[in-house]
């Protein structure tokens, strides 16, 4: 089947690619655009390792088709910092040792950032339910939740 020409803005830069109709946006990001920060843990929307922002909405990029991204804005882990420094969440994750192997980390950071943009003052329970779609098998979630709550507190104070 013939490929479709797709125009997007990824992490602020205009990017074009050719997508075959069945290719997921995650495959496009990883295999065509070499943005391998988004991970594939399942390919079925169950692990959240592929989380990205699509026009400001948190989605599993494994469940979005590449062709659906036409004309859309995409934000991935590669664009999370501001170009010269890391996002406060990234720093807090390091400070709190909120990662062990780190495979879930990009997806969790993207999801956590989306939460704090919506809700700068989340409760522990809200953080836990918001992140329920992001599996982490290493940490038991404790340090992740603490890092998110601590970032939220810092960002509110700033």
Partner 1 sequence: MNDMTQTNLQKDLKIVGTRPLRPDGADKVTGRALFGADKSLPNMLVGRVLRSPHAHAKIISIDTKAAEALPGVKAVITSKDFQDLPSEFVPAGEMMVNFKDMTRNIMAREKVLYEGHTVAAVAAINDAIAEEAMALIKVEYELLPHVMDVEEAEKPNAPLLHDDMITIGVEPAPKKPSNVAKRVEFGFGDLDKGFKEADLIIEKKFSTQPVHQGYIEPHACLASVSEDGQGELWVTTQGPFVVRNFCSKILGMSTSQIRVTASEIGGGFGGKTVIYLEPLALALSRKACRPVKMVMSRQEVLMASGPTSGAKIWVKIGVKKDGRITAGDAVLKFQAGAFQGSPIGPGAMCAFAPYEMTNVRVVGYDIVVNRPKVAAYRAPGGPISEYAVESVMDEIAQKLNLDPLELRLKNAAKEGTQAPYGPKLGPIGMIETLEAAKAHPHYSAPLGPNQGRGVASGFWFNIGGETCTSININEDGTVGLTLGTPDIGGSRASMAMMAAEELGVPMSTIRPIIGDTSSLGFNFLTGGSRVTFSSGMAVVESVREIIVELRKRAAQLWDVSIEKVEWVSGHARLVGSENPKSLSLRELAEAAGKTGGPIVGGASINATGAGPSLATHIVDVEVDPETGRTTVLRYTAIQDAGKAIHPSYVEGQMQGGAVQGIGWALNEEYVYDDNGKLLNPGFLDYRVPVCSDVPMIDTVIVEVPNPKHPYGVRGVGETPIVPPLAAVSNAVSRATNIRFNELPLSPPRVLAAIESR
Fill in the per-residue mask, 76 to 115: x = in contact with ligand FES (CB under 6 A), - = not in contact: -----------------------xxxxxx-----------
Count other Cβ atoms within 10 Å, centred on residue 147: 27
The one segment of 3-11, 81-89, 113-121, 137-145 that binds ligand FES by CB under 6 A: 137-145
- CA pair distance 142, 135, nearest whole angstrom: 13
CB 21 within 8 A of CB 39: no
Min dist CB 57 to partner 1, Å, is 20
Pull the structure tokens for residue 26: 């995650």
Q: Tell me the closest approach of the beta carbon of residue 18 to partner 1, in angstroms.
A: 13
d(CA 17, CA 30): 12
Residues that bind ligand FES (CB under 6 A): 40-43, 45-50, 60, 62, 99-104, 136-139
């Amino acid at each position: 089947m013939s490929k479709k020409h797709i125009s997007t803005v990824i992490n602020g830069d205009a990017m074009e690619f050719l997508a075959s109709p069945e290719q997921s946006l995650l495959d496009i990001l990883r295999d065509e655009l070499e943005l391998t920060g988004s991970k594939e843990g399942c390919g079925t929307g169950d692990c959240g390792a592929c989380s990205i922002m699509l026009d400001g909405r948190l989605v599993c990029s494994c469940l979005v088709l590449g062709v659906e991204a036409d004309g859309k804005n995409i934000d991935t882990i590669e664009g999370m910092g501001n170009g010269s420094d890391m996002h406060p969440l990234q720093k807090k994750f390091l400070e709190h040792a909120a990662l062990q192997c780190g495979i879930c980390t990009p997806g969790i950071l993207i999801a956590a950032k989306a939460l704090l943009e919506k809700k700068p003052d989340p409760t522990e329970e809200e953080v836990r339910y918001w992140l329920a779609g992001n599996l982490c098998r290493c940490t038991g979630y404790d340090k992740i939740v603490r890092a998110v709550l601590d970032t939220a507190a810092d960002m509110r104070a700033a």
